[in-house]
Amino acid sequence: MMTRNILPTGEARMTILRLPGAADIHVHLREPGDTHKEDFATGTAAALAGGVVTVLAMPNTRPPLADPTTFQEAVRLARAKARCEVGLFLGGTAENAEIVASVAPQAAGLKLYLDETYGPLRLEALPAILRHFQAWPGPRPIAVHAEGRTAAMVLGLVALFRKPVHFCHVSRREEILLIRRAKERGLPVTCEVTPHHLFLTEEDLPRLGPFGQMRPPLASRADQEALWANLPVIDAVATDHAPHTIEEKQGPHPPPGVPGLETMLPLLLTAVAEGRLSLEEAVRLTATGPRRIYGLLEPPQTWVEVEWGGSWTLSREGLFTRCGWTPFEGLTVRARVRRTVLWGRVVFEEGTIHAPPGSGRVLFAGLDSR
């Protein structure tokens, strides 16, 4: 068994909320290749502790999930270790457009890294990007890491090819306004934002130091305010859970990325308590919205119980993510996940994980492991 705690800091009248299990459509579980940071067992334990019952894992592993053999090996590892629902993305390279297209039905989607990121996947040449847009058959979307001018270029390709595209971790005012205009014109685009771009800005960097380094970088307060002002345009909040060890972050070349699976719901429900968004919006952004983007069914007999209205301090102590830290250390929140129920089974309760490794399900890739 595994245990964790969010530390109470005061007494207040609390309400128990019963919410749909969250779906986090952008996580990095680091397997294969970097399991000293995270793996399918620890990452999905962190998910359940955060009220997340479905995760979609990115392909920038070592080696990357960019061919059928590596993809199927990752499926095997996920079946052996996962504690919740897991879907796996394929990654685009300069040479593999037709190869990954042949595996499309088994994948959560195709991820194209078009700007600076962590890991070996990066596409820069326009001919290769065009080949992926031409070859990808769906049914799930092309997900893009595209910032600034690259985001504008991708919107042009959406207009040409009319294929669904999902914009990951939108963080700048200009980007969300471009996506708003694209939606108004009927283009098949969706987008997500991260908790760290909603709740942190570049003003937090002196306090966070290397633990605030991420891609895209933390933005200005004006950028953050633009995200909040355009919540109706945003289809999902996704954590971009990107764990690195404390030693790596404090080293001479800190890798970009922050963990987030265990703090997303407490942060958003704190915003509900503060009147920044409605409870219905929080459910849309964490459950119904992300499921709609990727055609994910809600697991039957599944819900999350949350204590809401109290006061707790987020702490690295007892986190299930293997990296063992959070950029929100010391922040007071008004909610905590008390219990997670998946397929009628209590999988997390009061700081204890009850779901064993291998009790989860790999989505899309054939027979599951339940």
pLDDT value at residue 366? 73
Task: State the Cα–Cα distance between residues 241 and 214, nearest whole angstrom.
Answer: 11
What was the pLDDT predicted at 302?
A: 98
Task: Say if residue 192's pLDDT is above 70.
Answer: yes
pLDDT at 3: 45
CA angle 181, 131, 116 (to 5 degrees): 65
Query: Residue 12 — very low, low, confident or very high, per pLDDT cuts 50/70/90?
Result: low
* pLDDT given at position 239: 98
Distant-in-sequence, close-in-space partners of 25: CB < 8 Å, separation ≥ 6: 55, 56, 108, 192, 236, 238, 290, 293, 294
* CA dihedral over 269, 275, 276, 281, signed as positive or negative: positive
3-state secondary structure 199-231: HCCHHHHHHHHHHHCCCCCCCCHHHHHHHHHCH
Q: What percent of the chain has pLDDT over 90?
A: 92
* pLDDT at residue 119, rounded to an integer: 67
CA distance 61 to 240: 14
Q: Band of the pLDDT at 194, cuts 50, 70, 90?
A: very high
pLDDT in tens, 312-362: 999 999 899 999 999 999 999 999 999 999 999 999 999 999 999 999 999
- Give the distance, in angstroms, between the CA of residue 129 and the centroid of all CA atoms in the same chain: 23
d(CA 212, CA 157): 32
Integer Cα distance of 304 and 311 in angstroms: 19
Which DSSP string corresponds to 302-338?
-EEEEEEEEEEE--STT-SSTT---TTTT-EEEEEEE
- In angstroms, the CA 155 to CA 149 distance is 10
In b/e form, how buried is each residue of 287-315, taking b as 16+ CB within 10 angstroms? bbbbbebbebeebeebbbbbbbebbbbbb
Phi and psi at residue 19, in whole multiples of 5°? -120, 160
- Whole-number Å distance between alpha carbons of 299 and 53: 8
Tens digit of pLDDT for each residue in 244-276?
999 999 999 999 999 999 999 999 999 999 999
3-state secondary structure (DSSP) of residue 341: strand
On whether the CB atoms of residues 31 and 40 are closer than 8 A, the answer is yes
Q: Is the dihedral of CA 336, 276, 273, 308 positive or negative?
A: negative
> In DSSP terms, which residues pair with 27 in a beta bridge?
57, 241
Tell me the CA distances in angstroms from 15 to 2, 9, 67, 182, one per residue in order: 26, 17, 48, 40
- CA dist 236 and 191 (Å) reads 7
If pLDDT is split at 50, 70 and 90, which confidence band does 10 have? very low
Q: What pLDDT band is residue 370 in, cutting at 50, 70 and 90?
A: very low
78-91 pLDDT tens trace: 999 999 999 999 99
pLDDT band, very low/low/confident/very high, at 56 (cuts 50, 70, 90) = very high
Cα–Cα distance for residue pair 43/105, rounded to 1 Å: 24
- The pLDDT value given to residue 201: 98
Whether residue 243 contacts residue 37, with contact meaning beta carbons closer than 8 Å, is answered with yes
Q: Would the pLDDT of 147 be above 70? A: yes
Question: What CA dihedral angle connects 117, 120, 126 and 132, to 10 degrees?
Answer: -110
Q: Which domains does the chain have, with CATH numbers?
A: 2-362 (3.20.20.140)
**Has residue 2 got a pLDDT over 90?**
no
In total, the chain counts a number of residues equal to: 370
pTM of the complete model: 0.95
